[in-house]
Chains A and B, each alone.
Chain A
C-alpha cells in the first residue's frame, strides 16, 4: 500500500517532467537536452529567492513555473531557432539541436555547481510545511497529493487541448508535416514558442514538486531525470499523451520494485536498460503509431 502511494507520487513527477519533453519532441521536433537543466535551475532560482525572503507554497511554485518558461523560451530563441534556420536538412538540424542542447545544459549546471559547491539544496525556507496524512495503513504527504492532482489535471488538460482545440490540431499538424502546415496558414514560430514555454513551465513545476518531495536536490539531478524522461517517452511512444502517462507510471513502478528488492544503486540502470529493451522490441513504443514521417 505504501509502495503504491510512492509509485503514484513519483510517477506524477515523472509525468510532469516528461510531458513537456514529449510535447516538444512529438510536435515541433525538438529533443531538448537542456530540459533537465531547466528543471534544476528553476528550482535553484526559487531556492535563491527563498534565501532572501520567506514565501508561501504557491509563490514558490509560481517562481519555478515562470523561470522554467522563460529559460525554455530563451533556449528556443537563442539556439534552436537559429539552428533550424541555418540547417541544411532535417537530420543535421536534429543533430545540431541535440549537441547545442548538451552545450546549453552545462551552463545552468555549472552556475548552480559553483554557487552551491555541488551540495544539495532544498526549499525548506518557505512558509510551507510538509504534513503527513494517514490513509489506512499508508502515509501520504500534502505535497504528494498536490503533485498527483496537479500532474494528472495538467496531463488531462493538455491531452484534451491537443485533441479537441483548433490550436491543438494546428500543433499536431506541424508534427506531421510542418511545411504543409505553414502553407495552411499556421504560424509555426508562434506555436513553437508557446510549446517551448509550456514545456519549460512544466519542467519548473516538476522541479519544485520534486524538491518538496525529496526535500533536496543536487545540481546534477536534472541529468539523470532527462535520461529517465527519454526512457518514458520511448516506452510510451513519441508524441502520444497516453503513452507518456503509461511510461511515467510504469517506470516509477519498476524503479520502486527494484529499490525494494535489490541493494546498491542498480535503480539507475532500470531506465537505461528499458531504453534498450523498448527500442529493440517495439521501437514505436507501446502507444506509438506507425511512423509516417521519417523515412
Chain B
C-alpha cells in the first residue's frame, strides 16, 4: 500500500487537489447557487500561497491558513456583490470572475510572473499533510450535508421562498455558499502549488471549470461522495487508458455531455436510486400495509405548529426535505 502511494505520488496529489477543487464548485451547486467561482478561488489561492511563501517566507501551514482566509474573504465580497443574481446570470458572472483572475495573472508584471508564472515555491509540505487536510475538508463538507444544516441547505436549494417562510435566512446561506466555495478553492490551489512548486496562467483559467464540472457531474452533484468518485475516476482514468492520449479532452467532453443529458445526478445518484429501489422492494415484501417513511408525508405534518412558525433553536425541529418542498410546491400549484 505504502509502495503504491509512493510510486503514484503525483497522481495521489492530483486526486486530492482535484477533489477539493470539485468540492469548491459542488458545495454552492448543492445549495442552489449556480457559481463557478471556486475555479477562480483555486487560481487566486495558488498565486496567493506562492507569493506568501516567496516574499514572506511563511511555512506551509501558515501560508495555507492565510490563503484560505484571503480566498474566503474574496468569496464573501463576490457573494455580497452578485448573490442577488440568479441562474445563468450568476453562472456567467462567476465565469467572468474566473477569467479576470487569469487576465490579472498574465498582466501582473513581475509580481505574478506574467505568462511564465511563479517558480520556486519550496516548503516542507508532504503528501501526508495534504491527505489529512483534504480529509478534514471533506469531513466538514460531509457534516454540513447532515442534520439541521443539511436540511436547511436543501430547503434553500429547492425553494427559496418556502425556505424563507420556514424561517431560514436564505441570504445568509447563499453568502455562505460563496465563502465556503472560496475557502475550499483557496485550499485546493494552495495545496497544489506547494506540491508542484510552480504556478502559471495555464494552470488556472477556464479549463479548471471544465475539469471540476466533469468530476462532479459524472460523480454526482448531490453529495461529497459524488465529488470523491469523480475526482478518483478522472485523475486515474487517463493513467489507465494510455491510448486516449491526445484525445483526452474529447473523451472528457463526450462523457460530460452524456452525463448532463442522461445522468444529471451522476454515478452517485444512480447508486442511491438502486439502494432505494432494493430497500423499497425488501420492505414491500415484508409488510405491505406499513406506510413508506421515505415518501412524502402529508403537508399538515410538516408545517410547524402555530405559534412557533419560525425555526428557532428553541422551537421543535421539523424536517424540511427537498422532496417535501417539492411536494408542497406541487400541491400549491394544483390548488
Q: Which residues of A are interface residues toward B (Cβ below 8 A)?
A: 31, 79, 82-83, 86-87, 91-92, 94-96, 98-100, 102-107, 109-111, 113-114, 223, 227, 230-231, 234, 264-266, 268-269, 271-273, 275-276, 279-280, 283, 294
Give Cα A86–Cα B264 distance, bound, in whole angstroms: 10
**Could you tell me the dominant secondary structure of chain A's interface residues?**
helix
Flag if A82 contacts B92 (CB, 8 Å).
Answer: no
B87 lies within 8 A of chain A by Cβ: yes
Given A111-B250, A266-B103, A268-B103, A275 and B257 touching (CB < 8 A)?
A: no
Q: Contact check, B96 vs A82: say whether CB atoms are below 8 A apart.
A: no
Interface centre among B103, B247, B257, by most A CB within 10 Å?
B257
Q: Are B261 and A275 in contact (CB under 8 A)?
A: no
Closest 8 CB pairs of A and B: A103-B256, A106-B253, A103-B257, A110-B250, A100-B260, A272-B96, A110-B249, A269-B103
Interface string of B231-270 (1 = CB under 8 A from A): 0000000000000001101101111111111101000000
Query: Interface digits, B105-128 against A, CB 8 Å rule (1 contact, 0 not)?
Result: 011000000000000000000000
Closest CB in chain B relative to A283 CB, distance in Å: 7
CA distance A235 to B81 in the complex (A): 18
Contact with A along B181-214 (1 / 0, CB 8 A): 0000000000000000000000000100110011
Interface size of B in residues (CB-CB distance below 8 Å) = 42
State the CA gap A86–B259 with chains docked (Å): 13
Q: Which residue of A lies closest to B107 (CB)?
A: A264
Cβ B250 vs Cβ A107 within 8 A? yes
> How far does the alpha carbon of A107 sit from the alpha carbon of B251 in the complex, in Å?
8
Contact (Cβ within 8 A) A279 B85: yes
When chains A and B are docked, how far (Å) is the Cα of A104 from the Cα of B256? Answer: 8
Which B residues touch A114, using CB under 8 A? 246-247, 250
Contact of A103 among B97, B100, B107, B253 (CB under 8 A): B253
Chain A residues, Cβ within 8 Å of B96: 227, 231, 271-273, 275-276
Report whether B253 and A107 are in contact in the complex, using a CB–CB cutoff of 8 Å. Answer: yes
Task: Please give 9 more A-B residue pairs, beta carbons under 8 A apart, in addition to A95-B91, A265-B106, A272-B97.
Answer: A83-B260, A100-B256, A100-B261, A103-B256, A107-B254, A107-B257, A227-B99, A230-B92, A268-B99
Interface status of B12 (Cβ within 8 A of chain A): no
| Cβ-closest chain B residue relative to A109 | B249
Alpha-carbon distance between A98 and B29 when the two chains are bound, in angstroms: 13
* Complex partner residue of B255 from A102, A103, A276, CB under 8 angstroms: A103
Report B-chain residues with C-beta under 8 Å of the C-beta of A87: 264
Query: Within the complex, which residue of A79, A111, A264, A272 is in contact with B100, where a contact is CB–CB below 8 Å?
Result: A272
State in angstroms the CA–CA spacing of A25 and B206 once bound together. Answer: 22
Shortest Cβ distance from residue B315 to the other chain A in the assembled complex, whole angstroms: 28
Residues of B within 8 A of A264 (CB): 106-107
Contacts of A31 in B (CB 8 A): 88
Contact A275 B92, beta carbon cutoff 8 Å: yes
Between A and B, 7 residue pairs with Cβ closer than 8 Å are A82-B261, A103-B214, A103-B256, A106-B253, A110-B249, A276-B97, A280-B82
On whether the beta carbons of A265 and B254 are closer than 8 Å, the reply is: no
- Contacts A103-B256, A109-B249: A234 and B92 contacting too (C-beta < 8 A)? yes
Contacting pair A99 B213 (CB below 8 A): yes
B69-97: CB near A (< 8 Å → 1, else 0) gives: 00000000000011001111101110111
CA distance A110 to B100 in the complex (A): 24
What distance in Å separates the Cβ of B272 from its nearest Cβ neighbour in chain A?
A: 16
Q: Are B95 and A227 in contact (CB under 8 A)?
A: yes
Contact (A110, B256) CB under 8 Å given A31-B88, A92-B264, A283-B89: no
Cβ-based interface call for B217 (8 A): yes
Q: How far is the CA of A76 from the CA of B253 in the complex (A)?
A: 16
**B81 touching A106, Cβ below 8 Å:** no
Nearest CB to that of B253 among chain A residues?
A106
With A109-B249, A283-B89 as contacts: A96 and B261 at CB distance below 8 Å? yes
Contacts of B100 in A (CB 8 A): 269, 272-273
Of A82, A98, A109, A111, which one neighbours B88 at CB under 8 angstroms? A98
Q: Hey, which chain B residues are within 8 Å of A94, CB to CB?
A: 87-88
Tell me, yes or no, whether B47 is within 8 Å of chain A by CB. Answer: no
- Give Cα A111 to B103, complex, Å: 26
Q: Return the contact of A279 from the options B93, B246, B257, B264 (Cβ within 8 A).
A: B93
Determine if B107 and A104 form an interchain contact, defined as CB atoms under 8 angstroms apart.
Answer: no
Question: Is the pair B253, A104 in contact by a Cβ cutoff of 8 Å?
Answer: yes
Quick check: B87 and A294 within 8 Å, CB to CB?
A: yes
Q: B88–A110 contact, CB under 8 A?
A: no
